Amino acid sequence: MRRLLVAGNWKMNKTNREAVSFVSELVDKVKMFKRCEIAVCPPFTALSEVVEITNGSNIEVGAQNVYPADSGAFTGEVSPLMLKDIGVDYVIIGHSERRKYFKETDEFVNQKVHSVVEKGLKVILCIGETLEERQANKTFDVVKRELVGGLKGITASQLENIVIAYEPIWAIGTGITATPEQAEEVISFIRSEITKLYDNEVAQNFRILYGGSIKPDNFEAIVAEEDIDGGLVGGASLKVDSFARLVEIAEERQA
């Protein structure tokens, strides 16, 4: 069975001090959960200390963005090399907020994916449709375009270090969760597209998360779905108790 992943995307939240206090408490709260995988993705300013505090624990650490070059004249950017150097495990790429506010294209997202896997780091690649696209019956087209575009040139062995997060934009931060059936419908479609791009064995081992208004009271039904391998969590990852509860739910579901 695929290993479930519960990843917290903190977005632009928590000062360094708040991050340190949060993870110090979290380490203890989730230390008994060994079956599922746990990750937190703090802002850049807190990454280094969060990596240190979680060292030797069952919590991995992700960055929320990256620039696809080792170094150079890219004011304000952070490279995969720098992230690897401080011990980061994951990088979130292509989040809808970056696509929307920072105009990231599939091509740029794809460059980032390559630069991160080439450094041996793992990727959480986000894809998902807007409400207008869903209402115009374009969900599958959009998801397929972002999937194929984001994974262009990625080999089957590189894919082992990539996880997709399907995040319908209309469900992010809105309190409106996709129903488990809606999420499963798209996520099983993504798995079938992975079969077409690679093969069935690769697709069966490949992890696909759901993201969008996940809460302790809806997560159990979401991870009960056949193809959903965990969650990328925004708001509910900012409180130790709710995040730890989500991890516990994944742990119970994990065989």
Which token pair is 31?
Answer: 């230390």
CA-nearest of 3, 4, 10 to 242 is 10
Least distance between ligand 13P and beta carbon 95 (Å):
6
Of these residues, 37, 97, 146, 167, which one is catalytic?
167
> Is 167 in the active site?
yes
Q: Kindly tell me which of 203 and 248 has the beta carbon lying closer to ligand 13P.
A: 248
| 234 sits near ligand 13P (criterion: CB under 6 A) | yes
Distance CA 44, CA 46 (A): 5
Pick from 80, 94, 168, 235: which binds ligand 13P (CB under 6 A)?
235
| 43 sits near ligand 13P (criterion: CB under 6 A) | no
Q: Which residues contact 166 (CB under 8 A, 6 or more apart)?
A: 127, 128, 143, 183, 186, 187, 190, 208, 209, 210, 211
Distance CA 17, CA 151 (A): 36
Question: Binding-site residue total for ligand 13P (CB under 6 A)?
Answer: 14
Amino acid at 15: T
> Is 114 in the active site?
no
Q: Kindly tell me which of 124 and 159 has the beta carbon lying closer to ligand 13P.
A: 124
DSSP state of 177: P
Pick from 6, 9, 38, 143: which binds ligand 13P (CB under 6 A)?
9
Q: Kindly tell me which of 101 and 137 has the beta carbon lying closer to ligand 13P.
A: 101
Residues of this chain that bind ligand 13P (CB under 6 A): 9, 95, 167, 172-173, 211-214, 232-236
